[in-house]
Amino acid sequence: MRHHRTDAAPGSTSTLRTANQQRVLDVLRGGPGSEAPGADDEGEFTQAELARATGLAPATVSNIVRELIASGLVESEAGSGRRGSAVRLARGAGVVGGVDFGHSHVAVAVGDLTGRLLAEERRPLEQGHAYTEALRMASTMLDAMTAGRGTIRHIGLGLPAPVTNDVVRSSAIFPGWDGVNTRAAAEDHFGIPVHVENDANLGALAEHRQGVGRGHDSSVFVKISSGVGAGIIIDNQLFHGAGGTAGEIGHLTLDDAGPLCRCGSRGCLEAYTSTGTVLAMMAGQLPQASLDDVLDAAHTGNVSAQRALEDAGLHLGKGIASVVNLINPSLVVIGGDMARAGDLLLESARIGLRRHALDSVALTPILASELGERASLVGAVLLAAERTELVVEHV
């Protein structure tokens, strides 16, 4: 189905109608600022709920819904009882893709235009992989996943590194991608529009929209895996900073005489709290252990494993204190591999926060991610859905 836009003069009836249609579509797809009471888990609304959410008159909403149904973007199903008929984005309105690259994995998903995941898969990648290899694998995975689902309209792509104007700027953090214009390279592989974000930003977006951050207009998502980074939500929007690299809290200096960090500095937060740091602390007692081995040991009473996680948590809390002192979020969410430690990490992080934050923010909640290791992938799908423009055909 092709939808054609026709330009109209500002302030014209046609322009007003288009703007009102977009307001309804934004609510149905769960976009920024569209948090609306009444929606169910499938993104369905009654027309009365759409009227309340958009501020439009019920008669206007009724007319718009009829137009959107005629355009094939919306479908309605008769209901019974107090909820009445349900309105939702049409299943055939299109699908989007999400790709989350890590240092040693690639995760891929297909979702609908509300950001709901329809299918997903995760595969390992070699440490230090070349970007061409990673994009080739992701493209193969997406091709298999979209069979029978229609054409992907846009792709959201996450990377565990600073990204400025779509270019990775870190030879130390993500060497196989350094200097690469990721959007251009990905669009060459996929053949459709691609939108690139730091993976912690995508995790923040996902938790804000679909996870533990729902209802908070300001929050910080801290992803702790082989590296440490943060995504910041302010006034319900991702905050990128002037160059797009806001949130690199893993490289806050806690001790300038501390251990050497891969960024070249000393005593960075990442050098005290990453998964590699915890595994290195336990190498003498649990050689060749994985993080899950360390967590299992801690849960079964191994005091050294418990202490390693406690130390990481205390340093994490100290780093978080700098963030909450500065921007005063209402919530801090911990994601990434280390979030699997749960309160073994978070309780000491809360202690570290109380020790180093101002009294007014020292009790800022620190909670585990609700979406777990899927957060950045969910955020990639949400980003792609948000960037996919829905244009109504006017006849």
- How would you classify the pairing of strands 152-159 and 95-101? parallel
Task: Kindly list the distances between the CA atom of residue 123 and the CA atoms of 138, 211, 293, in Å, as whole numbers in the listed order.
Answer: 9, 24, 21
Instruction: Judge contact between 157 and 194, C-beta under 8 A.
Output: yes
pLDDT at 101: 94
Neighbours of 300 (CB within 10 A): 8
pLDDT at 91: 77
Which residues lie below 8 Å from residue 165, measured CB to CB, with a gap of 6+? 244
- How would you classify the pairing of strands 167-168 and 194-198? unpaired
Residues paired with 98 in a beta bridge: 109, 156
pLDDT at 78: 74
pLDDT at 128: 82
Instruction: Judge contact between 152 and 145, C-beta under 8 A.
Output: no
Tell me the three state secondary structure of residue 152.
strand
Token duo for residue 215? 């209802």
Q: What is the pLDDT along the chain (395 residues), one digit of tens a residue?
A: 334 444 445 556 778 888 898 889 888 887 554 444 444 455 789 999 999 999 999 999 999 999 898 888 888 887 544 445 789 888 778 899 999 998 889 999 999 988 889 999 999 998 888 999 999 999 999 999 988 787 899 999 999 988 888 998 877 778 888 899 999 999 999 999 999 999 999 999 999 999 999 999 999 999 999 889 999 999 999 999 998 889 999 999 999 999 999 888 999 999 999 999 999 999 999 999 999 999 999 999 999 999 999 999 999 999 999 999 999 999 999 999 999 999 999 999 999 999 999 999 999 999 999 999 999 999 999 999 989 887 666 54
Model pTM score: 0.86
Domains, the chain, ordered by start: 13-92 (1.10.10.10), 95-203+376-387 (3.30.420.40), 212-369 (3.30.420.40)
* CA separation for the pair 214, 356 (Å, rounded): 27
* CA separation for the pair 231, 239 (Å, rounded): 8
Task: Kindly list the distances between the CA atom of residue 286 and the CA atoms of 8, 294, 298, in Å, as whole numbers in the listed order.
Answer: 68, 8, 12
Token duo for residue 221? 């998502």
Residues paired with 105 in a beta bridge: 124
Place of tokens 């302030």: 11
Which residues lie below 8 Å from residue 82, measured CB to CB, with a gap of 6+? none
pLDDT at 394: 55
* CA separation for the pair 282, 297 (Å, rounded): 10
Instruction: Judge contact between 249 and 208, C-beta under 8 A.
Output: no
Indicate the helix (H) or strand (E) that contains 394. none
pLDDT at 4: 42
**What are the contacts of 69-74 at 24+ separation with CB within 8 A?**
71/3, 71/392, 71/393, 72/1, 73/3, 73/25, 73/390, 73/392, 74/25, 74/28
Which one-letter DSSP state was computed for residue 111?
E
pLDDT at 72: 84
pLDDT at 393: 62
pLDDT at 176: 87
Instruction: State in Å, rounded, how far the first CA of the chain is from the last one.
Output: 14
Nearest 5 degrees, angle CA 372-CA 377-CA 380?
Answer: 140
Neighbours of 62 (CB within 10 A): 13
